[in-house]
Amino acid sequence: MTQAENRFENAPETALDWYRAGQGAVLATVVQTWGSAPRRTGSMLVIRGDGHFEGSVSGGCVEGAVVLEAQDALKNKEHRVLEYGISDEDAFAVGLACGGTIKVLLEPVGSALPLDLLEQMVAARTGRQALVYEVNLESGVRRLLHSGYPDRMRMDRSGMEEDDETFVAVHNPPLRLICVGAVHIAQALVPMARIAGYDPVLIDPREAFAAGDRFPGETILDDWPDEAVEKLGLDARTALVLLTHDPKLDDPALQAALAAECFYIGALGSKRTHAQRVERMLAAGFSDQQIGRIHGPIGLDIGAAGPAEIAVSILAEMTAVLRGKAE
Residue 246: inside a domain, yes or no? yes
Same domain, yes or no: 21 and 77: yes
Q: How many domains does the chain have?
A: 2
Same domain, yes or no: 164 and 183: no
Q: Which helix (H) or strand (E) holds 6?
A: helix 3-6
Residue 14: inside a domain, yes or no? yes
pLDDT of residue 269: 92
Residue 160: give the domain boundaries. Answer: 3-171
Sheet holding 199-203: strands in order across?
A: 219-221, 199-203, 176-180, 238-242, 264-267, 294-295
Same domain, yes or no: 244 and 112: no
In angstroms, the CA 277 to CA 284 distance is 11
Q: What is the CATH number of the domain that holds 253?
A: 3.40.50.720
- Which of 148-157, 159-168, 310-319 shows the lowest per-residue confidence on average (mean pLDDT)? 148-157
pLDDT of residue 253: 95
For 78, phi then psi, to 5°, come to -140, 150
Same domain, yes or no: 19 and 83: yes
Last residue of a domain, one of 148, 171, 194: 171
Is 306 a residue whose pLDDT tops 90?
yes
Same domain, yes or no: 149 and 251: no
pLDDT of residue 2: 36
Is 196 a residue whose pLDDT tops 60?
yes
pLDDT of residue 96: 53
pLDDT of residue 136: 96
Q: Which helix (H) or strand (E) holds 264?
A: strand 264-267
Residue 196: inside a domain, yes or no? yes
In angstroms, the CA 193 to CA 198 distance is 5
pTM strictly above 0.85: no
Residue 101: inside a domain, yes or no? yes
Same domain, yes or no: 13 and 146: yes
- 60 and 39 Cβ atoms separated by less than 8 Å: no
Same domain, yes or no: 304 and 167: no
For residue range 197-253, list pLDDT tens digits in order. Answer: 899 999 999 988 988 899 999 999 999 998 999 999 998 889 999 999 899 999 999
Three-state SS sequence of 17-49: HHHHCCCCEEEEEEEEEECCCCCCCCCEEEEEC
Same domain, yes or no: 61 and 152: yes
Mean pLDDT of 182-204: 94
Three-state SS for 139? Answer: coil
- What does the mean pLDDT of the chain come to? 89
Last residue of a domain, one of 154, 171, 188: 171
Task: Write the DSSP assignment of 145-212 as a string of letters.
Answer: ESSS-HHHHHHT--EE-TTSSEEEEEEPPPPEEEEE--SHHHHHHHHHHHHTT-EEEEE---TTTS-G
Same domain, yes or no: 162 and 27: yes
Residue 327: inside a domain, yes or no? no
Is 54 a residue whose pLDDT tops 50?
yes
For residue range 250-300, list pLDDT tens digits in order. Answer: 999 999 999 998 999 999 999 999 999 999 999 999 999 999 999 999 999
Is 9 a residue whose pLDDT tops 80?
no
Same domain, yes or no: 127 and 192: no
Residue 241: inside a domain, yes or no? yes
pLDDT of residue 93: 54
Mean pLDDT of 87-116: 76
The sign of the dihedral angle between the CA atoms of 77, 80, 86, 88 is negative
Residue 278: inside a domain, yes or no? yes
With vertex at residue 250, the alpha carbon angle to CA 246 and CA 252, rounded to the nearest 5 degrees, is 130
In angstroms, the CA 96 to CA 104 distance is 13
Is 35 a residue whose pLDDT tops 80?
no
Is 7 a residue whose pLDDT tops 80?
no
Same domain, yes or no: 88 and 117: yes
Residue type, 154: R
Is 3 a residue whose pLDDT tops 90?
no
pLDDT of residue 327: 64
Last residue of a domain, one of 171, 204, 228: 171
For residue range 116-155, list pLDDT tens digits in order. Answer: 999 999 999 888 888 999 999 999 999 999 988 988 887 8
In angstroms, the CA 159 to CA 157 distance is 6
pLDDT of residue 5: 37
pLDDT of residue 4: 35
Same domain, yes or no: 165 and 206: no
- Which of 3-17, 63-77, 268-282 shows the lowest per-residue confidence on average (mean pLDDT)? 3-17
